[in-house]
Structure 1
Amino acid sequence: MTEILTPRLLLRRWTEDDLAPMAEINADPEVMRWIGDGSVRDLEQTAEDIERWEEEWDEEGFGLFAVELLASGELAGFAGLSVPDFLPEVLPDIEISWRLGRSFWGQGYASEAAHAVLEFALQDRGLDRVVGICRAGNTASENVMRKLGMTPERETVHPEYGYPLQVHAIDLTEYSG
């Protein structure tokens, strides 16, 4: 089983116990406003998401980790890697992403988890390059990408929803660990 320990977090595969807290995160309109069409997701949709994330682990050898706080055992959200099928123009690049519950914002957890995922991508999984994609105006995600050493690469438009997207990237030669 793939797990990553950071000073404050455990990044691990998903369990049944993660469904309810992840569904609670996905049900928060403030969390979801930058994602997809901005709609919240219910328990059934979240179960389908987790199933899809686990399948990606099996198919690709990487995926989205459940992010657990070491101090409390609480599920904070996710961070990990995925194939950004929704934006074919960036393929075959792999995307790094994260989503944390609002009560976990502003404490450095997203950056801590994302750093661990980036190291996993470049060193453990041997990826040469990783992209980060966010909706224009999502300054919190842009700040995490900047902390990772990612640089803005291009602006584009979401093919389904039509809003502007920012694509950031980093490759192995730029990564300082």
Structure 2
Amino acid sequence: MKIYLETERLILREILQEDAEAFFAMDSNPEVVKYVGIKPLTDISQSVKMIESIRNQYIENGIGRWAVVRKEDKKMVGWSGLKLIKEINNHQNIYDLGYRFTPEYWGKGYATETSIAVLNYAFNEMKLNNVFAYADVENYASNHVLKKLGFEEKDTFIDEGDTCFWYELKKENFK
């Protein structure tokens, strides 16, 4: 895949097996996974499997979530990117925007900054006409980011037992 995006403060690159420790540190934190439908990880082998799954998405779909690395210290602080979802909320083969960060990096604008780069890539390089996203109705921070990016709330649906807002951003509405 070898896609590489850069923002003012961050680098987005393929997720590698070497990222397993950073992944585990993030996804073993109950606050991080509170709204994403998974339980906190308890063993690094779970992170290794998640990374294998993401790397398979690169091969099978040509796209997957990317590691977010700070330029200033080369530290992985989370992930951001697109994922091809075969079926969700009565939609098939949609591209979903998602992001997740370690709590010490929350509130720094990284979700917005990386999402803008990812959406530019989606609309200008992949030539997509729309991108979807969803977030737990109680995840106020994530819902705020999606609305700030211009996503339109379409409806709600149940995912993994949680009520989520379903969003769409059309290419012509992306600024």
TM-score, normalised to structure 1's length? Answer: 0.93
CA distance in structure 1 between the aligned counterparts of 2:120 and 2:55, rounded to whole angstroms: 20
Gaps of 5+ in 2: none
Shift >6 Å, 4+ stretches: none
Aligned partner of 2:73 in structure 1 is 72
CA distance in structure 2 between the aligned counterparts of 1:43 and 1:84, rounded to whole angstroms: 25
Map Cα deviations across residues 12-53 of structure 1 (whole Å, 9 max, x no partner).
01223211011100000000100114x112311111111111
Aligned partner of 1:172 in structure 2 is 171
What code does the residue aligned with 2:40 have? Answer: V
Map Cα deviations across residues 121-174 of structure 1 (whole Å, 9 max, x no partner).
11111111101111111111111101211110111112xx32211111101111
What SS class does the counterpart of residue 83 from structure 1 fall into? Answer: strand
- Percent of aligned pairs sharing the same letter: 25
Map Cα deviations across residues 68-117 of structure 1 (whole Å, 9 max, x no partner).
00011110110011123462513222100000000110000111011111
How many residues were matched structurally? 173
CA RMSD of superposed structures (Å): 1.3
Aligned partner of 1:105 in structure 2 is 106
Aligned partner of 1:53 in structure 2 is 54
Aligned partner of 1:12 in structure 2 is 13
Aligned partner of 1:132 in structure 2 is 133
What code does the residue aligned with 1:134 have? Answer: A
What code does the residue aligned with 2:111 have? Answer: A
Taking a change above 3 Å as real, the CA distance of residues 81 and 23 of structure 1, as seen in their structure-2 partners, is same
What SS class does the counterpart of residue 50 from structure 2 fall into? Answer: helix
Contact 2:87 2:94 in 1 (8 A): no
What SS class does the counterpart of residue 146 from structure 1 fall into? Answer: helix
TM-score, normalised to structure 2's length? Answer: 0.94
Contact 2:137 2:165 in 1 (8 A): yes
By percentage of residues, which structure has more strand? 2
